[in-house]
């Protein structure tokens, strides 16, 4: 059994046409900047999975210098990472994610995000949201951060 941890941050975009994607769900609010769809929740989770399996990090597998991943949906990233774990004979036991955002309110989306993430990775994913009490970059509403932990076990 092994543990993994992931962390990601994306800043809010100046482009009003960008959609906000969080936990594989379209959420109302200003979009985040990024090479992909900038889903910090999915990215933190994917990094936790890779870390637990000792498979490097998201930047290695999906470099933002590679046009192949330009605008890619995080559902695809998470699907590919899940397949990499399976190829390496690891099975996800569960994962837990904390999102740090002043806005938007995520409580109304929590169940849908947990369901979408759990379905793609094939194991329970729980999600909590918090603010940073107005402190720091998340508190100033400059971006959103996410932390994820997970446990994987060897497939026998
Ligand atoms: Mg990211």
Is pLDDT of 64 > 90?
A: no
Q: What global pTM score does this model have?
A: 0.96
- Check pLDDT > 90 for residue 156: no
Residue 156 Cα to ligand 1 middle (Å):
32
Do the bridges between strand 20-22 and strand 25-27 make them parallel or antiparallel, or are there none, so unpaired? antiparallel
Distance (Å, rounded) from C-alpha 129 to C-alpha 133? 12
Give residue 148 CA to ligand 1 midpoint distance, Å: 13
| Residue 155 Cα to ligand 1 middle (Å) | 28
Q: Please tell me the distance between residue 37's alpha carbon and the centre of ligand 1 in angstroms.
A: 9
- Among 3.40.50.150, 3.40.50.1110, 3.30.1330.50, 3.30.70.270, what is the CATH number of 2-154? 3.30.1330.50
Average pLDDT over residues 81-106: 97
Burial of 139 (0-12, 13-18, 19+ CB in 10 A): middle
State in Å: Cα 77 to ligand 1 middle: 11
What pLDDT is recorded for position 54? 97
Examine the pLDDT at 149 and tell me if it is beyond 90. yes
Domain residue ranges in the chain: 2-154
Calculate how far, in angstroms, residue 140's C-alpha sits from the geometric centre of ligand 1: 19
Residue 68 pLDDT greater than 90, yes or no: no
Give the pLDDT of residue 63. 87
What does the pLDDT look like over 15-30, one tens digit per residue?
A: 999 999 999 999 999 9
Contact call for residues 91 and 49 (beta carbons, < 8 A):
no
Distance of CA 44 from the midpoint of ligand 1 (Å): 7
Cα separation, 68 vs 47, whole angstroms:
19
Q: What is the CA(105)–ligand 1 centre distance, in A?
A: 20
For residue 74, what are the β-bridge partners?
Answer: none
Cα–ligand 1 centroid distance for 61 (angstroms): 12
| Ligand 1 center to 87 CA (angstroms) | 23
């Amino acid at each position: 059994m092994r543990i993994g941890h992931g962390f990601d941050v994306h800043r809010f975009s100046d482009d009003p046409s960008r959609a906000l994607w969080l936990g594989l769900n379209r959420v109302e609010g200003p979009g985040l900047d990024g090479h992909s769809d900038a889903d910090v929740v999915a990215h933190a989770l994917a990094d936790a999975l890779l870390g637990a399996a000792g498979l490097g990090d998201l930047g290695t597998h999906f470099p933002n210098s590679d046009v192949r991943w330009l605008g890619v949906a995080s559902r695809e990233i998470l699907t590919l990472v899940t397949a990499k774990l399976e190829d390496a004979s690891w099975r996800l036991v569960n994962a837990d994610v904390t999102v740090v955002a002043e806005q938007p309110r995520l409580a109304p989306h929590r169940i849908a995000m947990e369901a979408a993430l759990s379905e793609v990775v094939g194991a329970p994913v729980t999600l909590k949201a918090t603010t940073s009490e107005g402190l720091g970059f998340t508190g100033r509403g400059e971006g959103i951060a996410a932390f994820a932990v997970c446990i994987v076990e060897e497939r026998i």
